[in-house]
């Protein structure tokens, strides 16, 4: 079984400050990990993915995430927040054993303070 | 641009009146998914097609059906919508089971 826990349903940061969104996973086999962003009344857009290659993954819009097996974490960061980053962020996990199912975390709503 | 398209973006239906939501893709992906997302919640997988093989989630109500007439199109049919079915419905595709999913913009369903 696999699961994802996102710590903090709401995160607020000032414009220009560091963004850190936390994601911890549980999986009995090596996982694939994803971060998606969702703007109001829109679908989910893939930010980045980890698929057992480099542990530091760079994505779109200046975001990156680091896979840490020892901590079972895949936290999302961005050095300098922009107003346009305000959105809902979902961490998701799937295994690489032909399981098509993505397991999503409960999401983190990011608010940017001007 | 290759993409996942959902029509309509907003759908209003009456309680008990059947409704069909549409999804099409130009990515030529093998797998197509339907998710239900309620306000402030994560998407919940309803079912998916791997090519023509239909895979239903155990907790998906019988009220929800799906059709995939060809690679490009997939439909979600709600036979008798209830007020609790009001939600955003998201379609997604992936090349194969190992790959990431690409989502459409969603259809927001209102039940009156």
List, as ranges, residues 46-85 from A with C-beta within 8 Å of B: 46, 49, 51
Query: What does the pLDDT look like over A37-91, one tens digit per residue?
Result: 999 889 999 999 998 778 899 999 999 999 999 999 999 999 999 999 999 999 9
Q: What share of chain A is helix, strand, coil (3-state, %, to 5)?
A: 5, 60, 35
Nearest to B34 by CA among B90, B101, B84, B93: B90
Nearest to A23 by CA among A105, A86, A102, A103: A105
Q: Which residues pair with A104 in a beta bridge?
A: A92
Pairing of strands B102-103, B73-78: unpaired
User: B83 by DSSP, 3-state: which?
Assistant: helix
DSSP structure class, residue A82? -
User: B39 by DSSP, 3-state: which?
Assistant: coil
pLDDT at residue A51, rounded to an integer: 85
State the nearest Cα–Cα gap between A11 and chain B, in angstroms. 14
Residue A50 tokens, joined: 């980890």
pLDDT at residue B2, rounded to an integer: 64
Q: Which residues pair with A78 in a beta bridge?
A: A19
Query: What does the pLDDT look like over B46-104, one tens digit per residue?
Result: 999 999 999 999 999 999 999 999 999 999 999 999 999 999 999 999 998 778 899 99
pLDDT at residue A110, rounded to an integer: 97
* From B4, B6, B45, residue closest to A101, measured CB to CB: B45
Count of residues for chain A?
114
Count of residues for chain B?
112
Using the predicted structure, report yes or no on whether residue B25 has a pLDDT greater than 90.
Answer: yes
């Amino acid at each position: 079984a696999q699961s994802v826990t996102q710590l903090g349903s709401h995160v607020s940061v000032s414009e220009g400050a560091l963004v850190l969104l936390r994601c911890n996973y549980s999986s009995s086999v090596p996982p694939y990990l994803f971060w998606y962003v969702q703007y109001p009344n829109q679908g989910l857009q893939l930010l980045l993915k980890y698929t057992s290659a480099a542990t530091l993954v760079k994505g779109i819009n200046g975001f990156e995430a680091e896979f840490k097996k020892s901590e079972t974490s895949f936290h999302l960061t961005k050095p300098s927040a922009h107003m346009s980053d305000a959105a809902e962020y979902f961490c998701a996990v799937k295994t690489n054993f032909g399981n098509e199912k993505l397991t999503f975390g409960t999401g983190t709503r990011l608010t940017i303070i001007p | 641009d290759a993409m996942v398209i959902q029509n309509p973006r907003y759908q209003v239906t009456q309680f008990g009146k059947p409704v069909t939501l549409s999804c099409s893709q130009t990515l030529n992906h093998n797998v197509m998914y339907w998710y239900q997302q309620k306000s402030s919640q994560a998407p919940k997988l309803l079912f998916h097609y791997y090519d023509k093989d239909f895979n239903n989630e155990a907790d998906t109500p019988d009220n929800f059906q799906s059709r995939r007439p060809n690679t490009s199109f997939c439909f979600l049919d709600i036979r008798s919508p209830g007020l609790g079915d009001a939600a955003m419905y998201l379609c997604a595709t992936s090349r194969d089971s190992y790959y990431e999913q690409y989502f459409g913009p969603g259809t927001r369903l209102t039940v009156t």
